[in-house]
């Protein structure tokens, strides 16, 4: 098969080289974006009278025909033609003749692929942002359902202080909000059209790049033809956003895995989102959460891969940049798969609020409340901390909980302690006593849920 660039070559390309250099096996998924870009480019060439309107019409009709074939599976991509761009252009020329050979006027595969991947990422960012929004809504619904449920809060994976389950869930709503904001910000730099920059220097033909960008729905055009074809910052930024999203999902997955164990018994994951063991009949494994945690490593690796690909490249385009697509494709697809299955799984999780409440009062979790009680009685915080520490040590030695101590026992540690200390020892009282903005106070959490409901509409 004759290469579209074969004019200066005497010998055929080695079969091993064709197999080694082809990218159509993975970049063929850009076909919609490639055809969309080519149609816009043809319209611009006709508008600028670089080709005739009849030629543009023939090109557009031919591209639409190819799109229909690819869509119904009757189009055959050839590795010998290297990539999605050459496959489509070759088919077009074969179908419509000489007019097809004019399509590549005033563009290069360098600016063409940069345009395709930007169009692809614009679509993927929009889809991922929508999935994150849906997940926020699901978490809000669960938070409303369990708004009064009390659980132990943890630091260092040790029981720390009583909190509301709804407050804990809203922490993830905040994370997903930041994820959406980062993607929205990334979209600003992705939404710039490089088409028409050509190989690196631009063109002597009277093109109208702004018109092409407008047809493709880009917000602006790139300013420097060299940077247009050699820039992959937008892809790196997306992969960075993707890595942070997966980090959030992995932290959540870890908690779901822990909470579903017999040791915690905080939740039960639906049978529909768990699997069994081939040898142990009693097992119910949280494989979906575990895979989500595992796939985070892949997405991290994709970011490192593209950073490493780009780190030593001189300007402008280098063939190394062909390797940018697989990390981007894999991360975009992995995140969407994770977000979709997570949303479904969360809707069917049963929270064991009784078990959570039972454990919330263990482990001396209201010790800080005693220290703050003493502060309100005029004791300096460091002294209050020391006194409370001695109370906890006494409880450990006597195998008692804080709520099991008598007033007489408590007063032995400080004369400032009186009967009203009972208002701070129980987990539910501890939660209600919180006053600071953003705390686990039930009224404050309800207000935040209501506020989010309005914002997410």
User: Cα(339)–Cα(452) distance, rounded to whole angstroms?
Assistant: 20
How far does Cα 377 stand from its chain's mean position? 48
User: Assign residue 406 a region: left if phi > 0, alpha if psi is -120 to 50, beta otherwise?
Assistant: beta
Judged by DSSP in three states, 226 sits in helix
How many C-beta atoms lie closer than 10 Å to residue 123's C-beta? 12
How many C-beta atoms lie closer than 10 Å to residue 80's C-beta? 16
Torsion of CA 214, 215, 219, 220, to 10 degrees: -60
- Long-range pairs of 331-335 with CB within 8 A, sequence gap ≥ 24: 331/238, 331/239, 331/242, 331/243, 331/298, 331/299, 331/302, 331/303, 332/121, 332/124, 332/128, 332/238, 332/242, 334/242, 334/246, 334/295, 334/298, 334/299, 335/128, 335/131, 335/242, 335/245, 335/246, 335/299
Catalytic residue among 76, 156, 397, 436: 156
How many C-beta atoms lie closer than 10 Å to residue 110's C-beta? 21
Alpha carbon distances (Å) from 186 to 134, 181, 220, 333, 353? 20, 9, 14, 17, 39
Whether 260 sits among the annotated catalytic residues: the reply is: no
Q: What are the DSSP calls for 32-62, one per residue?
A: HHHHHHHHHHHHHHHHTTSS-HHHHHHHHHH
Catalytic residue among 277, 418, 450, 451: 277
Whether 277 sits among the annotated catalytic residues: the reply is: yes
Which residue numbers are catalytic?
Answer: 156, 277
């Amino acid at each position: 098969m004759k290469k579209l660039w074969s004019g200066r070559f005497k010998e055929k390309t080695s079969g091993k080289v064709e197999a080694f250099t082809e990218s159509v096996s993975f970049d063929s998924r850009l076909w919609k974006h490639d055809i969309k870009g080519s149609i816009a480019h043809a319209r611009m060439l006709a508008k600028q009278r670089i080709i005739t309107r009849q030629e543009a019409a023939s090109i557009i009709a031919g591209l639409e025909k190819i799109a229909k074939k690819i869509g119904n599976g009757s189009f055959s991509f050839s590795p010998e033609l290297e990539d999605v761009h050459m496959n489509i252009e070759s088919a077009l020329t074969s179908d419509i003749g000489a007019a097809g050979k004019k399509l590549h006027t005033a563009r290069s595969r360098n600016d063409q692929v940069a345009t395709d991947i930007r169009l692809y990422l614009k679509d993927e960012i929009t889809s991922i942002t929508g999935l994150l929004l849906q997940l926020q809504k699901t978490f809000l619904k669960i938070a409303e359902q369990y708004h009064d449920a009390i659980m132990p809060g943890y630091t260092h994976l040790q029981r720390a202080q009583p909190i509301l389950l709804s407050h804990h869930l809203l922490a993830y709503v905040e994370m997903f909000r930041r994820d959406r904001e980062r993607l929205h910000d990334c979209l600003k730099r992705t939404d710039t059209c490089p088409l028409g920059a050509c190989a690196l220097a631009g063109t002597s033909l009277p093109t109208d790049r702004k018109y092409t960008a407008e047809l493709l729905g880009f917000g602006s055009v790139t300013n420097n033809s060299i940077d247009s074809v050699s820039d992959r910052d937008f892809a790196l930024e997306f992969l960075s956003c993707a890595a942070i999203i997966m980090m959030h999902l992995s932290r959540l997955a870890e908690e779901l895995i822990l909470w579903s164990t017999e040791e915690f018994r905080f939740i039960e994951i639906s049978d529909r989102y768990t699997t069994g063991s081939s040898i142990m009949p009693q097992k119910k494994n949280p494989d979906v959460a575990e895979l989500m945690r595992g796939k985070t490593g892949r997405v991290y690796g994709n970011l490192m891969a593209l950073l490493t690909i780009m780190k030593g490249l001189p300007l402008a385009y280098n063939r190394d940049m062909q390797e940018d697509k697989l990390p981007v494709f894999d991360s975009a697809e992995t995140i969407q798969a994770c977000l979709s299955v997570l949303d479904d799984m969360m809707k069917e999780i049963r929270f064991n609020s009784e078990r959570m409440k039972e454990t919330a009062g263990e482990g001396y979790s209201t010790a800080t409340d005693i220290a703050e009680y003493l502060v309100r009685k005029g004791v300096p915080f460091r002294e209050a901390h020391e006194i409370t520490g001695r109370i906890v040590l006494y409880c450990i030695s006597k195998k008692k909980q804080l709520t099991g101590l008598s007033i007489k026992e408590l007063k032995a540690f400080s004369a400032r302690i009186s009967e009203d200390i009972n208002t701070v020892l129980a987990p539910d009282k501890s939660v209600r006593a919180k006053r600071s903005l953003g705390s686990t106070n039930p009224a404050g959490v309800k207000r935040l849920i209501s506020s989010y409901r309005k914002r997410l509409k």
